[in-house]
Amino acid sequence: MSAQILDGKKVAASIREEVVAEVAALKKKGVNPKLAVLLAGDDPASVVYARSKEKSCQKVGIEFSLYVLPGSVTDSEMLDLVGRLNRDESIHGIMIELPLPKQLDKKRMLEAVLPVKDVDGAHPFNRGCLFSGAGGLSPATPQSCIELLLRSGVEIKGKHAVLVGRGETVGKPLILMMLNQNATVTVCHTKTVDLAAQTRRADILVVAVGRPNMITADMIKPGAVVVDAGINEAAGGICGDVDFERAKEVAGLISPVPGGVGSLTTVMIQKNLLKAIELQGKSL
């Protein structure tokens, strides 16, 4: 019997309805939510992501400004722009598209964004809030994993969650998010001995490594919940880190790629924008 599908598009549509209602309520109070996205260079994937965010924002009534900088931009030029956006009270959220041109100091750029405008949850202050449970702005992709589970009726509390991948973008923040949901967490990575033995123990298996079809059916406990947060280009198109076609015959619930976690990321950034407005005291 095939697994039930964790439908990211359906969950995203539900969250989008909430965003539309919250945006309308803010506008009645005279607040016009606005997101600024900085794009340095012409990385094709980044251009596509930026434009998709613009379209998504237009659909929910969020104002959007895209700042396109040349690939030759210097640290000081970009920092100057970030500083101006930080001071601009009409801008409620700032997001820097990655990857950045090689000459830019990525860490310095991300840390230049005001924590209360950091809708990507990349600033060390927001990472610290995640660690302490203080309620800052959280990274969109790991947040999407949690929302996909909770809104699909999956109970995380008390479950054994095995995370494959310890990257800065997904894995590390997700460790804390899972702990905050009272899961028992095991983290696997490139130095893990006998990965399959670990993954077969998982009630909830989350994979974010960027290796196509790395997790095979025999690595999954029958009936487990499988969340695939990977995205890879393959000969047949986009695929995840899990061998979906075979894994769905073993898992109880599984997220597809595309149509799973990735469907939520943009709307979670919008949710973060609304939270940023609250943190900035703009909603009063």
pLDDT, tens digit, for every residue of 53-63?
999 999 999 99
Spatial CA neighbour of 18 closest among 266, 244, 271? 271
Q: Does residue 81 have a pLDDT over 70?
A: yes
Residue 229 has pLDDT above 90, yes or no: yes
The mean-pLDDT minimum among 4-18, 151-165, 215-229, 231-245 falls in 231-245
CATH number 3.40.190.10 is the correct assignment for the domain at 30-114 = no
Is the pLDDT at 16 greater than 60, yes or no? yes
Render the burial of 29-66: b for 16+ CB within 10 Å, e for the rest: eebebbbbbbbbbebeebeebbeebeebbeebebebbe
- Span of 37-51, 116-130, 149-163 with lowest mean pLDDT: 37-51
Position 211 scores a pLDDT of 94
**108 labeled part of a ligand binding site:** no
Write out the two tokens for 82.
């970030």
User: pLDDT averaged over the chain?
Assistant: 95
The residue-averaged pLDDT of 5-21 equals 98
Name the band, by pLDDT with cuts 50, 70 and 90, for residue 237. confident
Residue 231 labeled ligand binder: yes
pLDDT at 118 over 70: yes
Mean pLDDT of 221-242: 93
Say which residue, 136 or 220, is predicted with more confidence: 220
Mean pLDDT of 4-12: 98
Task: Tell me how far apart the alpha carbons of residues 162 and 139 are, in angstroms, rounded to a whole number.
Answer: 19
What token pair was written down for 57? 């924002």
> Which percentage of the chain shows pLDDT scores above 90?
88
What CATH number does the domain located at 139-263 have? 3.40.50.720
pLDDT for 43 equals 83
Rounded average pLDDT over 154-182: 96
Task: Reply yes or no on whether the pLDDT at 282 is more than 80.
Answer: no
Residue 283 has pLDDT above 50, yes or no: no
What's the 3-state SS for 105-134? CHHHHHHHCCHHHECCCCCHHHHHHHHHCC
For residues 117 and 24, give the distance between their C-alpha atoms in angstroms, rounded to a whole number.
Answer: 20
Closest CA to 33 of 113, 117, 141, 145: 117
Tell me if 30-114 shares its fold with 139-263. Answer: yes
Span 91-113, mean pLDDT? 95
Instruction: Tell whether residue 166 is among the known ligand binding residues.
Output: yes
Residue 165 annotated as lining a ligand binding site: yes
More confident residue, 134 or 170: 170
Confidence band (pLDDT; 50, 70, 90) for 1?
A: low
Boundaries of every domain in the chain: 30-114, 139-263
Q: Tell me which of 135 and 8 has the higher pLDDT.
A: 8
Q: What is the mean pLDDT of residues 70-94?
A: 97
Percent of the chain with pLDDT over 70: 99
Say what the pLDDT of residue 284 is.
41
